[in-house]
Structure 1
Amino acid sequence: MADNASDLTPSRMPSILPILSVNFVGTLGFSIVVPFMVFLVTDWGGNALVYGVLASTYSVFQLIGAPILGRWSDQIGRRKVLLVSQLGTLASWVVFLVAFYLPTDTIIQVDSGLLGQFALTLPLIILFFARAADGLTGGNVSVANAYLADITDDVHRTENFGRMAMSTNAGFILGPALAGLLGASVLGEMLPVIAALLISVVASVLTYFGLTDTHADMLRTKPGLSNACKVFGQDTKEVYRLKGCSETPKTDLMRLPRIPQLMLVNFLVMLGFSFFYIAFPVHAATRLNWTVTDTGIFFAVLSLFMMLVQGPLLARAAKVVSQRLLVTGGGLILGLGFVALFWNTTPSIYLAALLIAVGNGLMWPTFTAVLSEFAGKEHQGAVQGMASSLSAAASIIGLIGGGLLYDWMTAWVFLLSAATITLAALVAFALPHAGSGKPAGAVAGAST
């Protein structure tokens, strides 16, 4: 097996099963914390705001760590960086587990009309350190995708990335369900954390023994033309430009046709979904009186619905419905799903899960395809990078803001999510059909 991706030919492409296994196990370990994290926060003195800040801690530190890990993976190899990421996650679970053995004495008590009532305890502070450590080394998803790209030829690229998405969805289905089962034991929330730690050990072992190293196919020297001019002291200037090597400023990207509207849709969808993501676990624990098992089952069912919609339903709908209508209609259905969460009955909650899965499953994959088309080949990486940055910013704002708003508004925050998503759907409806004009890259090229 060659160490460099450039040495790989279609006949020598390695199996993608090891990286799929690493991705599945990593997702399983991450998703297992979703159902019970809010119970720990409230038991250790926090409220919805503290839960929101805790959830955003991972995202904030991932913003710092992921770009660094990505660059390292280009330089020293994907496998090494994936192993660093997995070991960082393993260390974070060890820190997490330590919190269970610490006294829950109050260090700081807060009683504010703005922030609500909560206490900072030593286990809660340790929990913040654990999530920060995991986020700082949390570049495993992007590096895993880069690894898959390294070992995949063009013929099988779409198929293999589809398999990667399926492994992710499978992890998100099994993780919450497993958390629900383990959380019902006598050890309570400690057992899922122990399970996550053991899963992280398995992921580290799979990374070390199951993956061979790959590197980015990077240009390490500046090309030039050999000629005699410099020998005789003549000054020469290169007149070539490497396609894709120049960086486009974000201000120029926002001048590309339809990109500002698409970025607004991207931001609004992530903001509305983040309100839901942080508010619903608190709502389930405090208003619905759900247990860890109830919450785990809900998220497992939601993930299962999502996988079914993004597979056969979307494939059929895309053949008969335009992209604009899929994005707009999916957004409106998603908004209705958030509205259904307002009523505290089990049928309405699971109806909401179905509507959220259908709406998001139709809207989001279609939206990413539309964004890719309008970005064009020349600006694809820059546009996707800007969209990722805006998504991260929206997530941080939504997670912290959603926790704060839930303390003020309780279930009304779900209607705010619905309004935000509906606004995104209306902005998307104002866009022309994808493919109705030149892609953004072509227009930009003509203007220069």
Structure 2
Amino acid sequence: MMDPAVLALATLGLVDSISFMIVAPSLAFYVEKLGGSQDAYGFILAVYSFASFCGKPILGRWSDAQGFLVPYMISISLSNLGGLLYAVAPAFTSTQLTLVALGRILGGLGRANSALGFAYVARALPASERTSVTAILGGVQMIGMAIAPLFSALLANVKFDLCGIQFDNLNSVGLVLFVINFLSQVLVYFLLPDLAPNNSDEASDQDDKESEWSKMLRFICTIPHIGIPFLTIFTFNFNWQFIETALAPASADALGWSPVEVSYVLGAMAILVFLGMTSVHKLSQMGVTDFTLLCYGLMANALGYLLLYSSWQRDASVAAFVVPVFISAGSFAFLGAPNRSLFSKSVDAAPELSGLEGTMQALLSMASSVGGFTAPSVVAHYCLRTPAMVDVSSDAREFTPVALLSPALGFIIFVANMVVGEPEEKVATMTESDEERMCHEDGGMNGVEIMDEATPLNGDRRKSDGDSPLKSIDKMHKSRRRSLLETSYVRGSCTLGPSSEVDIFNTET
């Protein structure tokens, strides 16, 4: 049976993906109905991702200082309010588009709590269980994206009045956002145990903080194996947003599609991404390297977007529209996990970045968000042709030549990876002097008191005051993780292999 905490996090992921996918197919039609332009459509898409980008570091720092419950409650409340504003916008004639944009901004700030899920898993679970739980959460998100078209189909013929406001298939989406986010909020409050504030040591001196940031920036800019993954994850999200931005208006012009047909294609994309994730997992188990998987993903992505540019034409067949989308979607799984793995390997191989691994991962995620909020405006204004522009064009394409930027990004990064090659993996080793320094024959640590890692935390965590301190455990994990989790070294009676880890998800005492 699924742990209640995992169930709460999985519900959040499911609601997050449904919330995004239920809006994407109909937003272009909603903006058009309210008198907005194509540029306004791109802007409203972009501000959602930008708000999420801005909210992630705020919520992350908040969770470190006060635990997770309060940030989750506040962020989900923002999503609730955003859904209501999105729904009632047509009732305010002079500020319709402004309210839609404000609703999406609040929704984006709420969606920033997706970063809290990774932080919660990292702090609450032992390393041996994090991968499986993260895989569950990722799979649930793909399921949410796949079932979102059902909501669009159910709302297709909706028309009713509520409190003097008329609702149809477009603004009723906001009511769905409110309901599903409110339900997730209830589950999180009752099922997700709160964690004590993270009081791990931080450099209080501003110069030290500036030194760390400058150090990380130097490595990103000067070490190709660390810098290229930033370009890869930017391209990943930029190209994903490319399709989500362009599909609705382009298919409406070329094929006469409604939000229902658009949502079906986006749902099929989610299924293909899920199948791609399964393929990556199987191929990795068979010994295929992350570098090989990534290079395949980059070339498949470039091919898919080249076909997208050449085949999306007015009066084209449905196959000409969906096949390039599906080729592109199939490549995304090969750009995700392999890129993360190669990046982690490169960061671990840099001794100067020891202790900054989490911050580096957060920076990588923020690079993904940059791709998310730059793509909609760029695609809507520079890449996507309006119906009037298609009328006067000589090729009847839905895109301008600027759209070739997407396949070019994939190809350029592929070439860059081939030039720099695969990063070398750092192998943990221990010399005889290290052994003598760290270990006595009787199993003791020189000058270090051994802590029992299996000591359970307080099972009642709704109020974190009663929890056992995490500070000492976190410190020990940081200092021992590389040697203890990567090697099992035994000499005499001193065992340097990983012992049982704290399992916060197990609430039995």
Provide the TM-score with structure 2 as the length reference: 0.70
Residues 1:374 and 1:193: Cα distance change in structure 2 (over 3 Å): same
Which of 270, 280, 298 aligns to 2:237? It is 270
Match of 2:188 among 187, 207, 220: 207
Q: Identify the match of residue 20 of structure 1 among 10, 21, 29.
A: 10
Corresponding position of 1:355: 327
Give the AA of the match of 1:160: V
**What letter is aligned with 1:193?**
G
Name the structure 1 match of 2:256: 289
Question: What secondary structure does 2:122 align onto?
Answer: helix
Q: How many pairs align?
A: 389
Give 1:436 shift. Answer: 5.9
| Aligned 8 A contact 1:340 1:349 in 2 | no
Q: Distance in 1 between matches of 2:141 and 2:37?
A: 30
Does 2:274 match 1:307?
yes
1:44 to 34, 40, 49: 34
Query: Residue 193 of structure 1 aligns with which residue?
Result: 174
One-letter code aligned to 1:49: D
Q: Does 1:422 align with 2:411?
A: yes
- Is the CA contact (8 Å cut-off) linking 1:276 and 1:417 kept in structure 2? no
Q: Which moved more, 1:31-40 or 1:430-439?
A: 430-439
| Match in the other structure for 1:393 | 370
Superposition deviation, residue 277 in structure 1: 2.9
1:49-448 to 2 correspondences below 5 Å: 49-103=39-93, 122-186=95-159, 187-219=168-200, 249-253=215-219, 254-256=221-223, 258-311=225-278, 313-318=279-284, 319-341=286-308, 342-343=311-312, 344-376=316-348, 378=354, 379-405=356-382, 406-407=384-385, 410-412=398-400, 414-435=403-424
**1:374: Cα distance to partner?**
1.0
**Given that residues 337 and 356 in structure 1 are in contact (C-alpha distance below 8 angstroms), is that contact kept between their aligned partners in structure 2?**
yes
Shift of 1:184: 4.2
Cα 1:363–1:136, aligned 2, differ >3 Å: closer, same or farther? closer
Contact residue 44 and residue 124 of structure 1 kept, 8 A: yes
- Preserved contact between residue 8 and residue 191 of structure 2 (Cα < 8 Å): yes
* Cα distance in 1 for residues equivalent to 2:80 and 2:242: 29
| Offset from partner CA, 1:180-207 (integer Å, 9 cap, x none) | 3323444321333222221111111112
Unaligned runs of 5+ in 2: 160-167, 390-396, 429-509
The 8 Å contact of residues 280 and 293 in structure 2, kept in 1 or not, is answered as no
In structure 2, C-alpha distance between the alignment counterparts of 1:16 and 1:153, rounded to whole Å? 14
Bigger drift between 205-214 and 337-346 goes to 337-346
C-alpha separation between the residues in 1 aligned to 2:108 and 2:151?
A: 23
Sort the Cα spacing of 1:293 and 1:351 in 2 relative to 1 into closer, same or farther, 3 A: same
State whether residues 345 and 426 of structure 2, in contact with CA within 8 Å, keep that contact through their aligned partners in structure 1.
Answer: no
Q: What is the distance in 1 between the residues matched to 2:41 and 2:283?
A: 38
Contact 1:279–1:403 at 8 Å: present in 2 too?
yes
Q: CA deviation at 1:248?
A: 5.2
Equivalent pair of 2:153/2:260 in contact (CA under 8 Å): yes
Higher relative contact order (CA 8 A, sep 6+): 1
Separation of aligned partners in 2, 1:429 and 1:269: 18
What is the distance in 2 between the residues matched to 1:373 and 1:87? 38
Look up the equivalent residue of 2:222 and give its one-letter code. Answer: R
Q: Per-residue deviation at 1:216?
A: 4.4
Distance 2:125 2:298 in 1: 33
Looking at structure 2, the residues matched to 425 and 176 of structure 1 have their Cα atoms a distance apart, in angstroms, of 33
SS in structure 1 at match of 2:125: coil
Normalised by the length of structure 1, the TM-score is 0.79
Structure 2 SS opposite 1:249: helix
Fraction of identical pairs, as percent? 20
Q: Deviations over 1:36-84 (max 9, x none)?
A: 1111011112233211111111122223322112111111110111111
Q: Secondary structure at the match of 2:199?
A: coil
**Mapped partners of 2:50, 2:274: distance in 1:** 28
| Contact 1:86 1:200 (8 Å CA) reproduced | yes
For 1:55 and 1:148, the matched residues in 2 are separated by 29
* Aligned CA-pair RMSD: 2.8
Q: Distance in 1 between matches of 2:157 and 2:111?
A: 29
Aligned residues of 2:44 and 2:104 also touching (Cα < 8 A): yes
CA distance in 2, matches of 1:398, 1:145: 25
What does residue 7 of structure 1 align with? Answer: none
